[in-house]
Structure 1
């Protein structure tokens, strides 16, 4: 089970990074909901899921009532003008008391496979018991990090990351070559 591999425990799990957060969020929610109640939310913005009931701008009582009818519920509010889902009105700590698992997409990467965080990112709720970082493998060989904020420190971090992966232009086989005799 995916949740076992990632050591997901009851409470709030924040999912950060890039290249697969929404996919992981859905897979975990569907797996965990077989035996438990799951709330899905965001602390930033995400696309409104079409695979579970969505409770918009609702009170904590509305979220709890929705969980009586479905084992997965998405809680949030609509962020205009983008039409994306934004963080719920209910506090994350209250959501944790209302479901067995709360899965929060806690980072926006604008569908990019790699992301370098700015100082104010990621937005991990204080009550998170676990944080899972996702990295899109297809971005490891990229010659540069696209759309990264123009901070010299962030660009330098990206260069260091690519060097550590063993490839001058991104990830790849350099690490394996260094270890080979």
Structure 2
């Protein structure tokens, strides 16, 4: 199954990824899928991401050196645009240039927050940074957090009232539903919102993913389960 189909991204031109537990992996997997379709793909961030290694199909462009975004968005290629800011990280496109960048690409993908490499997170008042014109927001949660203490695996766990009261609380499927709803609220509207339950690599986690998805469906949120640990991604629409 295709990632874009499982995540209900068919027809979405601009997509923001937020949350934790594999955003960058998902970002480039979506970019690669679109590239293989011969589409013009532009990847960036509204906060910070690691600067990628260039390949024969993926190219990094310093924003200050880009006069025309359409000149770097080529069919079957992935253009990553940003400004190096130290520690091998980049900031993204300046807000004043976002509209032009979106219009230059067939598929515009960006990370909208950070997570300190933890599998789940809570959002503060300043994130995610979702740009105007974004079609869909994908909330990413890492299933490796299930059964582990909130204070060990949740970025900014203190912002969640339950975790703040019980820092040692072991995460269960109800917590995942609550974190997904918090992510949708933080991302704002009128964006479409879908959830990617990543790190789904055991039968037990697949059962948990189905339980989470059934609860989120009550709130009108669709889900997909993914695992990128193998040679080929495992993708399941839930």
Q: What's the TM-score once normalised by structure 1's chain length?
A: 0.80
1:148, distance to aligned residue in structure 2 (A): 3.9
- Answer 1 or 2: which has greater strand percent: 2
Residue 120 of structure 2 aligns to a residue whose secondary structure is coil
Equivalence for 2:227: none
Any gaps of 5 or more consecutive residues in structure 2?
174-203, 212-238
Alpha-carbon distance in structure 1 between the residues aligned to 2:116 and 2:45:
14
Equivalence for 2:18: 16
2:56 is aligned with 1:87: no
Alpha-carbon distance in structure 2 between the residues aligned to 1:31 and 1:138:
25
Any gaps of 5 or more consecutive residues in structure 1?
163-167, 177-181
Structure 1 residues 145 and 94: CA distance shift in structure 2, 3 A: farther
Which structure has the greater CA radius of gyration?
Answer: 1
Alpha-carbon distance in structure 1 between the residues aligned to 2:47 and 2:85:
10
Contact 1:38–1:71 under 8 Å retained in 2: yes
Alpha-carbon distance in structure 2 between the residues aligned to 1:28 and 1:7:
12
Equivalence for 1:140: 146
Alpha-carbon distance in structure 1 between the residues aligned to 2:40 and 2:24:
18
Residue 19 of structure 1 aligns to a residue whose secondary structure is coil
Equivalence for 1:2: 3
Q: What's the TM-score once normalised by structure 2's chain length?
A: 0.62
Equivalence for 1:165: none
Alpha-carbon distance in structure 2 between the residues aligned to 1:19 and 1:150:
15
Contact 2:19–2:121 under 8 Å retained in 1: yes
1:70, distance to aligned residue in structure 2 (A): 5.8
**Of the two structures, which has the highest relative contact order with CA contacts closer than 8 Å and spacing of 6 or more?**
1
Aligned length, in residue pairs: 166
